[in-house]
Homo-oligomer: A and B are copies of this chain.
Amino acid sequence: MKQYTIAILGATGAVGTQMLQCLDEQEIPVGELRLLASARSAGKTVEFRGQTVTIQEARPEAFEGCDFVLGAADDAIAKELLPEAVKAGAVVVDNSHAFRMDPDVPLVVPEINGADVAWHKGIIANPNCATIIGLVPTWPLHQLAGVTRMVVSTYQAASGAGAPGMQELEAQMAALGRGEELPEPRAFAAQLVSNLIPQIGGFKEEGYTSEEMKLQNEGRKIMHLPELRVNCTCVRVPVLRSHSESITLEFERDITLEEAREALAAAPGVKLVDDREAEDAHDRFPMPIDTSDQDLIWVGRVRRDISNPEPNRGITFWCCGDQIRKGAATNAVQILRLLIG
């Protein structure tokens, strides 16, 4: 089997570290592995499939001879370095926001628009985490009845702010647990433990945040629905690494609850957990503690939208998915898997 030279840019962060694990889990045939990070991390070593890999400083020269580059760095570094990887002949799958809305760059969730990888020009973008987690279960319902409108409230985990966000929440929980004064917030704008922060990203058009607009803008591009209307409210919650979303959909055509449930139960990437009779809460509905460190989007609380003036045109559900895995690393490596075939 052909072996590929693969680089991870930003290999030491929460997403980069998870990408490494996903390469192994998804059985990607890795020949040479290059782990690229800031000069600060260069020289450290990481184990991969029984080999010790030394982290290198991320510089343009590091991409020479690469077949694929997985991007897990921030927007600025992605913009600076990834075009160099393309020039060096590599195909890039990038998790940053830098290229997502570029009309020359496919934005891909394999369960939805895997075929879009075909028209890439060197870069394929990985969508925003909340976008992926909300769209994976929306897609099978769209295929049934044509989604026209989404009203979404998110419950987003600390991991969305990377390893520093998770460490900050853990430190706050520990301080609270020991009855000590909470450390000053740095990763977030305010204390997160026992609190909610209803702003993720900067304010953009009409008072929506950048994170809130991603679901509409990226959703339109991924689902090929330029007219899709999305009202999103993004809220940071004191949960470590699974995002949850409360989603209300409106459709062009009638859709019954039974059809919706059947489509969700059969959809790739989805696990339906929606047993109202179950004794154990873990079987009754999805919860973040159950969906952490696995790859599926769990969907439950599926019901008719009783507020929709047209009785069979609305469905409401709740979903949870691991922010670092399917929200980022897993999806990126699934795109790589599509490219390799």
Instruction: Verify if A95 is at the interface (C-beta below 8 Å from B).
Output: no
Residue of B whose beta carbon sits closest to that of A185: B281
Q: Is the CB of A173 within 8 A of B193?
A: yes
Out of B199, B316, B318, name the residue touching A281 (CB < 8 Å). B199
Question: Measured between C-beta atoms, what is the minimum distance from A228 to chain B in Å?
Answer: 9
Query: For residue A287, which residues in chain B have a CB less than 8 angstroms away from its CB?
Result: 190, 195-198
Q: Is the CB of B276 within 8 A of A207?
A: yes
Residue of B whose beta carbon sits closest to that of A238: B238
Q: Is the CB of B301 within 8 A of A233?
A: yes
Question: Measured between C-beta atoms, what is the minimum distance from A150 to chain B in Å?
Answer: 7
Q: Is the CB of B151 within 8 A of A151?
A: yes
Instruction: Verify if A306 is at the interface (C-beta below 8 Å from B).
Output: yes
Instruction: Verify if A153 is at the interface (C-beta below 8 Å from B).
Output: yes
Q: At the interface with chain B, which of A50-58, A113-121, A131-139, A239-247?
A: A239-247
Q: Is the CB of A207 within 8 A of B303?
A: yes
Instruction: Verify if A3 is at the interface (C-beta below 8 Å from B).
Output: no
Query: For residue A177, which residues in chain B have a CB less than 8 angstroms away from its CB?
Result: 173-178
Q: Is the CB of B198 within 8 A of A318?
A: yes
* 27 A-B interface contacts by CB (under 8 A): A151-B248, A155-B235, A155-B237, A173-B176, A174-B176, A174-B178, A175-B177, A178-B178, A194-B238, A195-B287, A196-B237, A196-B239, A196-B288, A198-B246, A198-B285, A198-B286, A198-B301, A199-B284, A206-B303, A206-B306, A229-B307, A229-B308, A230-B307, A231-B314, A233-B316, A235-B318, A237-B238
State the oligomeric state as a number of copies.
Answer: 2
Q: Which size bracket describes the interface of A in this complex?
A: 35 or more
Given contacts A153-B153, A306-B229, A316-B231, contact A195 B288 (CB under 8 A): yes
Instruction: Verify if A189 is at the interface (C-beta below 8 Å from B).
Output: yes
Instruction: Verify if A326 is at the interface (C-beta below 8 Å from B).
Output: no
Instruction: Verify if A208 is at the interface (C-beta below 8 Å from B).
Output: yes
Question: Measured between C-beta atoms, what is the minimum distance from A159 to chain B in Å?
Answer: 11
Instruction: Verify if A191 is at the interface (C-beta below 8 Å from B).
Output: yes
Residue of B whose beta carbon sits closest to that of A304: B206
Residue of B whose beta carbon sits closest to that of A316: B231
Question: Measured between C-beta atoms, what is the minimum distance from A169 to chain B in Å?
Answer: 8
Given contacts A178-B177, A237-B155, contact A300 B231 (CB under 8 A): no
